Amino acid sequence: MSGVSLKCGDCGTLLKSVEEAQEHAELTSHSNFAESTEPVLNLVCSSCGKPCRTKTESDLHTKRTGHTEFADKTSEVTKPISLESPTPTPMDVDASGSAQSEEMVAPEVDKKLLEELEGMGFSMARATRALHCSGNSSLEGAVNWIVEHENDADIDQMPMVPASSKNDPPKPSLTEEEKKMKLLELRERARKKKEEEEKRMEREKEKERVRIGKELLEAKRMEEENERKRLIAFRKAEKEEEKRALEKVRQKLEEDKAERRRRLGLPAEDPATAAKPSPPPVEEKKLGLPIKPVTKTEQMRECLRSLKKNHKDEDARVKKAFQTLFTYAGNVVKNPEEEKYRKIRLSNQAFKDRVGGLKGGIEFLELCGFEKIEDGEYLFMPREKVDIAVLNSAGNELQSAINNPHFGVL
């Protein structure tokens, strides 16, 4: 198969003719060319008609414009390459027989559009080439041409046309009124785009606010549910404790009764007979055995025990929590009028590390009189609710928990 292109041995570029090889050599200083059977691609964009000679060029065009459809017309333009230099035509030969090439000059373009492009920072050569190739009709068309061809190797070279075509009348440019209308249209389009973007951002912000609100409500509901479960478990534990206390009293009474019968020389009571009259719980009250209600001091002691059991492998951390709680209670007792000692921010990292992160720490402070305010952001003890006796009891329990190495073990 005969060669259909020239391939640059330095960069691998395929060229369709000797003229293109000469231009490539002048631009790049490459001189190693060889005949190749690989044709130069001719991929034509189906949307705008731009020809692309390589896959890389078509990918760049797709990236800039979003056009993805290309028609492969390589076979239509592929032809054997001629390695001979072009000979002048008879029209280019003067009477003396020497070849005379036609004079090449820069094309005439709209000077106002050229000045505007130069004012935008483009070089004269690039602006002239853009106006000439885009039809010399509008500023927007020239700018679009520059964006699409910014990677062309000759974009910053002054285009040249035959001198005979230099004075051809250029295509009419936009009038001042048309320019103003075009500018207003571009500004209106930009304003609408900005408004749409702002509306979209506002919708996103509203969705985010709704999501955060739902999460806060769910967190509050979970907190209330956990508090309810904790109270139920605490009451259940109290009832179990009461049952065990009553059972111990009942056993003690039975032992005392058996001891009295033994001392009086009476036979032991038949267990079957003794089991029949099982007195109801109401009768225990008649026997003078009232159930003592759980005091706040006992609740504090139980809270500290639970805290230590829940973190039984963190003795140092538990001890530091007890000492911190003792400091909070002591500060309020010593300075009941100072609000800073009666207000604790729950998000404070030091508080979370020492007390807030341990299960039972916040509950102990609530037993001391602290209340959650501002949607649970702070723990606060109102001045009128400062109970020195309760705080002293809390201090005694904490002192016992700190000094007693067996506290909470049993």
The CATH architecture assigned to 296-403 reads Up-down Bundle (1.20)
For residues 260-278, average pLDDT: 67
Choose among 381, 282, 397: nearest CA to 337: 381
Q: With contact defined as beta carbons under 8 Å apart, do 392 and 336 qualify? A: no
- The yes-or-no verdict on residue 283 having pLDDT over 60 is no
Give 235-256 pLDDT, tens digit per residue: 999 999 999 999 999 999 988 8
For residues 391-397, average pLDDT: 89
Q: How many residues does the chain have?
A: 410
| pLDDT reported for residue 207 | 92
Provide the pLDDT confidence category of residue 166 given band limits of 50, 70 and 90. low
The token duo for 262 is 């033994």
Distance between CA atoms of residues 65 and 34, nearest Å: 35
| pLDDT reported for residue 236 | 92
- The yes-or-no verdict on residue 293 having pLDDT over 50 is yes
Residue with tokens 């800073």: 340
The token duo for 258 is 């058996």
Give counts: helices (H), strands (E), the chain: 14, 11
Please report, rounded to a whole number, the percentage of residues in the chain having pLDDT higher than 70: 84
Give 141-163 pLDDT, tens digit per residue: 888 888 888 888 888 888 887 77
Q: What CATH number belongs to 102-174?
A: 1.10.8.10
Distance between CA atoms of residues 5 and 360, nearest Å: 84
| pLDDT reported for residue 90 | 47
Tell me what the pLDDT averaged over the chain comes to.
Answer: 81
- The yes-or-no verdict on residue 100 having pLDDT over 60 is no
- The yes-or-no verdict on residue 268 having pLDDT over 80 is no
| pLDDT reported for residue 285 | 46
- The yes-or-no verdict on residue 94 having pLDDT over 60 is no
For residues 61-74, average pLDDT: 86
For residues 85-89, average pLDDT: 52
Choose among 379, 302, 393: nearest CA to 348: 379
Give 343-384 pLDDT, tens digit per residue: 998 889 988 888 888 888 888 898 999 998 988 889 999 988
| pLDDT reported for residue 291 | 57
Domain ranges of the chain: 5-77, 102-174, 209-286, 296-403
- The yes-or-no verdict on residue 134 having pLDDT over 90 is no
| pLDDT reported for residue 109 | 85
Give the pTM: 0.32
| pLDDT reported for residue 276 | 52
Choose among 362, 346, 363, 322: nearest CA to 233: 363
For residues 126-137, average pLDDT: 85
How many CA atoms does the CB half-sphere of 407 hold within 13 Å?
Answer: 22
Torsion angles phi and psi, residue 252, rounded to 5: -65, -40
Amino acid present at 107 = P
Rounded to whole angstroms, what are the CA distances from 188 to 109, 300, 310, 377? 29, 70, 66, 48
Distance between CA atoms of residues 100 and 202, nearest Å: 70
How many CA atoms does the CB half-sphere of 217 hold within 13 Å?
Answer: 6
Residue with tokens 């935008």: 120
Residue with tokens 């999501």: 211
- Complete DSSP assignment for 26-51: HHH----EEEESSPPP-EEETTT--E
Distance, CA of 165 to chain centre: 60
| pLDDT reported for residue 150 | 82
DSSP state of 53: S
Rounded to whole angstroms, what are the CA distances from 255 to 41, 249, 267? 110, 10, 14
Give 26-53 pLDDT, tens digit per residue: 778 777 888 888 888 888 888 888 888 8
DSSP state of 339: G
- The yes-or-no verdict on residue 129 having pLDDT over 70 is yes
Distance between CA atoms of residues 40 and 129, nearest Å: 24
Distance between CA atoms of residues 200 and 194, nearest Å: 10
102-174 and 296-403: identical CATH topology: no
